[in-house]
Structure 1
Amino acid sequence: MIHSNKEMINVLNELKSKFDIIGIKSSFEDEGVYFNELIKLKELTTITNLDLNIKIGGCEAISDINNCVALNVNGIVAPMIESEFALSKFIDAAKETLPGILFKKFNFHVNLESRSAYENVSRIFNKQNNYKFLSGVVVGRSDLAKSYDLTKANVNDLEIYKITEDIFKESKKYKLLTTMGGSVTFKSDKFIKKLFEKKLLDRIETRNIIFKLNDNVINNLDKAINLALSFESLWLRSKSSYYMNISNSYLDRANLIDERK
């Protein structure tokens, strides 16, 4: 994935200097990222001195956790945590896979992104004091909306805002970092600003970029998000070019073989 490498680094550096981004995120779950792609993202974050957070494929996705260790990522995120049992499974899997000092090295986050998670949020944190092992909570608004039979078009609705606010209020009782994702665009500005003003929202994330919220980001949300989208477009084009080259090499080889018949 050499295509656009310099451009991606330039955009990341601009995001860092202008908007103080924390890092890059990627996902084995909804994004279906390949390990070789994560190697490239790790290279980019190393060059730009940014964090790399990875969402694993489930609460007990041990192979994904092992891959996170191999890549020396900063944060591991468990998706679709809907019960205290699911959180316990995640913590236990992490402890068993990452013994001792290694366990303490990583930041663990959970995605609360469904109706069930919202209804169970207080029990999720209280079970065996598992919240003590967490760094933060991420609300994924797209899946949250879908769990209420809504669509991505509804992520900025008042109903979703109130649910998100309640989840973050509960999270703050346990002094957890709060992050909001799920179709974050300039249309989310009122949603974001309101939560930030109430000191309930610490971070936002697009598909691949994690922002630490401050007055500068809040006052320039449209520019910040557009620049993040520029990186994501370059990243997708880089992957497309990479796999297209591989595909063409396979086709060329197949044509050579066919000529031998």
Structure 2
Amino acid sequence: MNSTERKMLSILKDMAENSEAVAVKAEFEAEGTRTEELLRLLEIARRADVKIGLKIGGCEAIRDLIEAKQFGVEYIIAPMVETPYALQKYIEAKNKVFTPDERGDIGFLVNIETDSGFQHSAEMAELAASENGIQGLVFGRVDYVGSLAMPRDSVNSPEVLAACRKVALDCKAHGLDFVVGGGISIDAVDVLKSIKDAHLSRFETRKIIFSGSALDKPALKQGLLNAVHFELLWLLNKREYYSIITNEDDKRIEMLDKRWKLLSQ
């Protein structure tokens, strides 16, 4: 580990101990996490004794599911699942890749993050709870408001809160996990508490997943600040890693360029 990763580890341990951070997140989808990046995140998570959540590229991303199996993640989330049919495709895909025994170690979830998905949420909750289904639904608030052409800062609005509570109750009725993400910050704490009054298993920032019970912790606000710091360090570490790769052949390129110019004369 380098010094930045050691600092990330220290922050993650603090969040796990004091503000109920339960997992770190990576994304093959929007974030485009590369294998070498995921391996670094895995080491940090394992040393902090927290889980890994991985968002794959789609409801039927078989290759992503195979890689998730190889890396050994604890949560797998399929994005932009808008219909029961898409959810059924995800269920079939994960059941194809993972044996019944292996599925017992993993929480499979899907993102409800458009108005179309929201309109089908009750049907999807029922399907999710069927035999060999999945463990829960994630409400992605930022994409949800985007699908309604609402501004990003409306994620904490009464309208979005009502939508979250509705899906939360659908999940509760079927014994499913309900997770909220998208624009999670200190400003969202009161909204999250209102959702938790209905049903809330976890909530997540871009890189950190917290237990729903973290909302009762005095250290939560510090935990959310630490989540921002963790993501910042993650991006700085990523930039430094690739800058080293970018520059590692500069001297040989310069030498070969001079040699080629001399020989070509």
TM-score of the pair, normalised by structure 2: 0.92
Question: Does residue 1:212 correspond to 2:214, yes or no?
Answer: no
Instruction: Sort the Cα spacing of 1:162 and 1:218 in 2 relative to 1 into closer, same or farther, 3 A.
Output: farther
**SS at 2:22 equivalent:** strand
How far off its partner does 1:219 sit? 4.2
Task: Please say if residues 23 and 50 of structure 1, whose CA atoms lie closer than 8 Å, have aligned partners that are also in contact.
Answer: yes
How far off its partner does 1:137 sit? 1.4
**SS at 1:183 equivalent:** coil
Q: Which residue of 2 aligns with 1:171?
A: 171
Instruction: Sort the Cα spacing of 1:194 and 1:81 in 2 relative to 1 into closer, same or farther, 3 A.
Output: same
Instruction: Sort the Cα spacing of 1:145 and 1:219 in 2 relative to 1 into closer, same or farther, 3 A.
Output: farther
Matches within 5 A, 1:67-106: 67-106=67-106
Question: Does residue 1:162 correspond to 2:134, yes or no?
Answer: no
Worse-superposed segment, 124-133 or 67-76? 124-133
Q: Which residue of 2 aligns with 1:232?
A: 231
Task: Please say if residues 56 and 65 of structure 2, whose CA atoms lie closer than 8 Å, have aligned partners that are also in contact.
Answer: yes
Matches within 5 A, 1:218-257: 219-257=218-256
Q: Which residue of 2 aligns with 1:142?
A: 142
Unaligned 5+ segments in structure 2 are 261-265
Q: Which residue of 2 aligns with 1:46?
A: 46
How far off its partner does 1:3 sit? 4.9
How far off its partner does 1:199 sit? 3.9
Percent of aligned positions that are identical: 28
Aligned-residue RMSD, C-alpha: 1.8
Q: Which residue of 2 aligns with 1:195?
A: 195
| AA matched with 2:235 | L
Instruction: Sort the Cα spacing of 1:63 and 1:2 in 2 relative to 1 into closer, same or farther, 3 A.
Output: farther
Task: Please say if residues 79 and 112 of structure 1, whose CA atoms lie closer than 8 Å, have aligned partners that are also in contact.
Answer: yes
Question: Does residue 1:4 correspond to 2:9, yes or no?
Answer: no
Spell out, residue by residue over 1:190-249, the C-alpha distance to the aligned partner (whole angstroms, 9 max, x if none). 2112112x1412211100101112266554442121011111111111101000111111
| AA matched with 1:243 | Y
Q: Which residue of 2 aligns with 1:260?
A: 259
Aligned length: 260
Task: Please say if residues 24 and 50 of structure 2, whose CA atoms lie closer than 8 Å, have aligned partners that are also in contact.
Answer: yes
Task: Please say if residues 20 and 214 of structure 2, whose CA atoms lie closer than 8 Å, have aligned partners that are also in contact.
Answer: no
Spell out, residue by residue over 1:31-55, the C-alpha distance to the aligned partner (whole angstroms, 9 max, x if none). 1111111111111111111100101
Say which one has the larger Rg: 2
Q: Structure 2: how far apart are the matches of 1:160 and 1:47?
A: 37
Q: Structure 2: how far apart are the matches of 1:244 and 1:38?
A: 18
Task: Please say if residues 142 and 152 of structure 1, whose CA atoms lie closer than 8 Å, have aligned partners that are also in contact.
Answer: yes
Spell out, residue by residue over 1:89-112, the C-alpha distance to the aligned partner (whole angstroms, 9 max, x if none). 001011111133223332101111
**SS at 2:120 equivalent:** helix
Q: Structure 2: how far apart are the matches of 1:92 and 1:129?
A: 14
TM-score of the pair, normalised by structure 1: 0.93
Unaligned 5+ segments in structure 1 are none
**SS at 2:82 equivalent:** coil
| AA matched with 2:30 | D
Question: Does residue 1:55 correspond to 2:58, yes or no?
Answer: no
How far off its partner does 1:129 sit? 5.2
Worse-superposed segment, 160-169 or 217-226? 217-226
Q: Structure 2: how far apart are the matches of 1:110 and 1:219?
A: 30
Task: Please say if residues 84 and 124 of structure 1, whose CA atoms lie closer than 8 Å, have aligned partners that are also in contact.
Answer: yes
**SS at 1:32 equivalent:** coil
Task: Please say if residues 131 and 174 of structure 1, whose CA atoms lie closer than 8 Å, have aligned partners that are also in contact.
Answer: no
Instruction: Sort the Cα spacing of 1:6 and 1:128 in 2 relative to 1 into closer, same or farther, 3 A.
Output: closer
| AA matched with 1:248 | N
Matches within 5 A, 1:20-35: 20-35=20-35
| AA matched with 2:67 | N
Instruction: Sort the Cα spacing of 1:212 and 1:113 in 2 relative to 1 into closer, same or farther, 3 A.
Output: same
